[in-house]
Each structure stands twice: as structure tokens, then as C-alpha cells.
Chains A and B, each alone.
Chain A
């Protein structure tokens, strides 16, 4: 489904160039639940952003279903992202001035999805039916992450990329969010999760260890 081939990403900083990823090659098949582990600064987020068609690699190629995603035009890539990939971030990234339902529906805007029915259904499934009209600031952190999960699921993505989604959550909320990722995986979806936590690694069908921007272990 997703293939990274000799992906290198270098950032320019005032102190010189920093190599976040160095010649990373991997293949993720449909239906896998992949945990990407490694210490802070090992390149987990950069790898996820590169896979997500959001961060062009300095070298190498990323293919999604055999299509070079960085060969697409910017607007084409934006539509591709909206249709195929769902994101869950550690910091939730909910728009503060929209209510929960609007935040979820926001994901449908870029692909013309104006139907609020699925957004409501997802929020109900994630236990947020009573919070639809609330602003993010009125939710607990666990509820915020579940709202972000609902947003990620709205467009029925093939792949969910989750960047430390439980990093800011209490154990119960973390378990709930991981449970929903597991449900998505069981329904045939593909998940790539960057994580420090053992709980996510236990769920994963495959764990990739990164260190200093390279794959230390894959299996």
C-alpha cells in the first residue's frame, strides 16, 4: 500500500543541516497496524509527515498504491490526502472556534463532504453525542482526542497516521483511543502509529524502531 524508498529528510537550521531521516526504506501493506517507536528526535514524526504527503523528502520516493505522491501537483496531493489519509495528532489540533460537530465535518470540506449524518454517527460511536455542540476548550483531553479520531475517520480513509495520539492522555482515555484505532484496523484499515507507549506496541502487528533517522529494527 505505502512504500518509502531511500527517503532522506534534511532540515536547515541556523546551526547547520540536521538529518532527520537517512535513507529510510520500508513497505507497509494494507491491513497492517504498524507502531513506529524510538526516542525523541529519532525521526518518527518526520517519517509520518513524509508518508502523509505533507513533507516532501529531500531525497527518495514515497508511493501510495504505486503512485508517487510527491509527483502530484500541490492541489492534487491535497485531495489525495483528504480522501486517503486520516490524521490523529498528539496535540489534537481541533479548531478552537468550531464546535465538536463542526470540527469533525471540517474534514469533509476539502472533498465536498457536506453530510453531517456520518459525523454525528461517528461522534455517537465514539461516545461524544452529548458533546457535539461544545467547543474543544470545554472538553476533557480524552474527549478532544476522540473528537480528533472522529475527524480522522470521516472520509473513510484507507490509512490512519497517528502521531503519539495517547501522549497527552490518562490511561483510560489512552485505552479508549487505542481501542478505536484497533476497531478501524479490524475493519480492514491500515494504521501507522508513532508511539513511546507499550500499549500501542502490543496492539501493533509490526513494530519499527527508529534511531537517529534510520531504521534500527523492523519486525
Chain B
């Protein structure tokens, strides 16, 4: 009779104890998986929501008047469009969501407007993320609310802008800002209309320095300055700070909650293991009387803990993932569809950590079992 066979037979015999122990591990794993998934989703959701506040890094030409840019939001100098490629091909950098734009003021049908050409947003290698803003196809234009209202521009209409025909893709809703007097088209179209081939006025970006302890602007300037010495970097600090603080808070909440759940489940498993040891005092006494040593008794209890851990890992992972997939989309409306998904790596972690967790939680009762006085145990009636 091998000890593993004994472990399996005992588990089958004391099904309730086994099921309750598996339930404890299942709870710990399910909570961990759900918490981890939710924490990740929450961080992503927060990051995404914070992104909607806008790009917080502006890269403009070195000779552009930063004061004028801050005053009216449009750089007065251009720079080569291939600056974007230089930034976009860098590894291990602290910015993402690169958006090259060419902006210029012009008069259209008697109204002063801002024309913004937008290149498709790009992400540096290894930082692929869904774009923050809409992409504009060549030949299409998005018209600001005030322009559309004042000049009776309708969606689907073809308009002529600087001699180029563009089809109105959408008339935007009122923003209460500069976007209301802005027309947004493809970068190539804007370069043609503004007669600035191969040029851009700026690159917008989002920094990835939410968890940076030092001065984020200094880090950005150092990084970008090394790649683009002919550019200057401005950070919208209020946006950057709000984003960083919100993300740190969400990160902190989950980091705080998870250990409590895991500790509670460890106590639960420990109590069940202790009950199991108490129920099996005579069996332990008998085994000791029959010559089984402490190692064999250890194997009997820790082997059970191992199997409980493995079973709990599987069930807990399924439960946690199901909870995440079922309820996550309701909570994280923006990112859920793209971001909440089955994480096979968590199953691997669960299968390694849950048995370890169950074994650690069962250690004290196992020690009690192996130090149990067989004579005393066998005298119990």
C-alpha cells in the first residue's frame, strides 16, 4: 500500500473535509485570479480613462516659440515628419501613443479655423496599445461643431479645403474648446493643403512614468533629447500628475486587499488540516505503532495538502476567470472587450503556488501529527 494510495483513499473517505479544504484553496485562488484580473483590468481601465484626459507630452521643434504654443496651442515652427519614426523605433523608453500632427490656422468660407493633420498613432516596439484617438483616412475630414453649425456642413458632404476635396466623415459634438473650430484630416492631406510636405508641427505622446520616483519631466527630456536633439519637450503636468496618482491609488488598493484574502484562506486550510489531524489521531498512533516513521506521516498529510492545492488551483482558476469574464465587462466598460481575457500564465502560477500555499498552511497541523504520542493516541476511545 503506497502512501499516495492511502492519501487518495483517505480523501475519498473524508469527502467533506477534502471538499472544504479544496474550497478554501479554490477561494484563495479564485480571489487571487479575480483580484489579479480585476487589478490589471482596473489599472488598464484607469490608464485608459486617464488617457481620455489627453496626451500629456508635447514634442515641438526646438526653435518653436514655447510661449506662443502654450498661449494658443499651435506651434509656430515645423520639424521633419521622420522625427516620429526616430521616436517610434526606440526600445525601453518612457513614452507611448505617439501621434504626429501638422497644425495651421486658415480661413475657410470666411471663418478662421484650425486645420490639423493627423498621422496614424504609433507605439514603440513592445508597447503596442490600442490607439487613443480616432484615425483619419486620406480624403476624409472630421469637422468641429462650431464650423459645422455656422457653415451648415453635413456628414457625407464633399467640401473643398485649400483646393483639395475632402469628404466629411463626421461632424463632431460640441467640446467647448479649440476642437469646435478645428478640422481634422489625414496628415498627408494636411501637408498638401498647408503646403508643408514632409513636415509636422508636433508629436503628442503619453508618458509611462506613473510609478517613477524621480522627476518625470527630467527623465523624458533626457530620453527624448538624446534621440531628437532638435526638439523640445513639454509636459502637461496637471494631466500627468492626475494620471499617475489615480493609477498609484488603484495599484495600492489591490496590493493591500490581496494579502488579507490569502491570509484568511491560509487560516481556513490550517484549521481544516488541524481538524483532519485530530480526527485521525488513532490512525496516526496506529501507523507509528506499526513502525511508520515521521517522514511517512508527513507524506500522508502534506501529500494530501499537495493534492488539495492542485485541485483548488484548477477549480479556483476556472472560477476566478469565469467571474472576471462574466462580471468584468460590466465594471470595466471601456477596456473589458479588448483587455479582460483568459490568462494561461495565471494557471501556471496557480498550479505552482496553490499547492505550496496549502502545504505551508498545513505545516503546523502536520507537525502536531508527527509529534503525536502514539501511546496516548491509541488509548483514546
> What residue of chain A has the Cβ atom nearest to residue B283's Cβ?
A95
Of B6, B286, B294, which contacts A74 at CB under 8 A?
A: B294
In the complex, B249 has a CB within 8 A of chain A: no
Inter-chain contacts of A52 with B (CB < 8 A)? 289, 375
Q: Does B12 contact A (CB under 8 A)?
A: yes
CB closest residue in chain B, given A90: B381
Contact of A45 among B287, B293, B379 (CB under 8 A): B379
B293 x A78 contact (CB < 8 A): yes
A75 at the B interface (CB under 8 A) = yes
A184 interface hit (Cβ, 8 Å) = no
What chain A residues lie within 8 Å of B292 (beta carbons)?
A: 78, 109-110
Q: Does A98 contact B (CB under 8 A)?
A: yes
Q: How far is the CB of A141 from chain B (nearest CB, A)?
A: 14
Q: Is the CB of B375 within 8 A of A55?
A: yes
Chain A residues with Cβ below 8 Å from B282 are 91, 93
Q: Which residues of B contact A46 (CB under 8 A)?
A: 375
Is B374 part of the contact surface with A, judged by Cβ < 8 Å? yes
The verdict on A102 contacting chain B, using a C-beta distance below 8 Å, is yes
- Knowing A52-B289, A96-B13, A109-B290, the reply to whether A91 touches B1 (Cβ < 8 A) is no
Rounded to whole angstroms, the CA-CA distance of A134 and B379 in the bound complex is 25
B residues 106-143 touching A (CB-CB < 8 Å): none
Is A95 within 8 A of B286, CB to CB? yes
Pick the contact of A87: B12, B283, B289, B381 (CB < 8 A): B289
Q: A residues within 8 A CB of B290?
A: 81-82, 87, 106-107, 109-110, 151
- Decide: B291 and A110 in contact? CB cutoff 8 A: yes
**Cβ contacts under 8 Å, B294 to chain A:** 74-75
A49 CB within 8 Å of chain B: yes
Over the window 96-115 of chain A, the binary record of Cβ atoms lying under 8 Å from chain B Cβ atoms (1 yes, 0 no) is 11100010011101110000
- Bound Cα distance from A78 to B9, whole angstroms: 24
B378 sits at the interface (CB 8 A):
yes
Interface-central residue, B1, B287, B289, B292, by most chain A CB under 10 Å: B289
Interface size class of B (residues with CB under 8 A): 20 to 34
Q: Are A110 and B12 in contact (CB under 8 A)?
A: no
Whether the Cβ atoms of B12 and A49 lie closer than 8 Å is no
Closest to A91 in B: B381
Q: State whether the Cβ of A72 lies closer than 8 Å to any Cβ in chain B.
A: no
Q: Is B356 an interface residue (CB 8 A)?
A: no
A77 to B381, CA, bound (A): 25
Q: Select from chain B the residue with minimum beta-carbon distance to A78.
A: B291
Q: How far is the CB of B282 from chain A (nearest CB, A)?
A: 6
- Encoded as 1 (CB less than 8 Å from any B CB) or 0, chain A from 15 to 39 comes to 0000000000000000000000000
Chain A residues positioned under 8 Å from B155 (CB to CB): none
| Separation of A125 and B374 alpha carbons in the complex (Å) | 29
Partner of B12, one of A89, A91, A97: A97
- Chain B CB within 8 A of A199 CB: no
Binding site for B on A (CB under 8 A): 45-46, 49, 52, 54-55, 74-75, 78-83, 87, 89, 91, 93, 95-98, 102, 105-107, 109-111, 151
Which residues of B line the A interface, CB within 8 A?
A: 1, 6, 9-10, 12-14, 282-283, 285-294, 296, 373-375, 378-379, 381
Q: List 24 A-B contacts (CB under 8 A).
A: A49-B378, A52-B375, A54-B374, A54-B375, A55-B373, A55-B375, A78-B288, A81-B289, A82-B290, A87-B289, A87-B290, A89-B378, A91-B282, A91-B381, A93-B282, A93-B283, A96-B283, A97-B10, A97-B14, A98-B6, A102-B1, A105-B1, A110-B291, A111-B291
Starting from the known contacts A109-B1, A110-B290, 16 additional A-B residue pairs (CB-CB under 8 Å) come to A49-B375, A52-B375, A54-B288, A79-B291, A80-B291, A87-B289, A87-B290, A91-B381, A93-B283, A93-B285, A97-B12, A98-B1, A106-B290, A109-B290, A110-B293, A110-B296
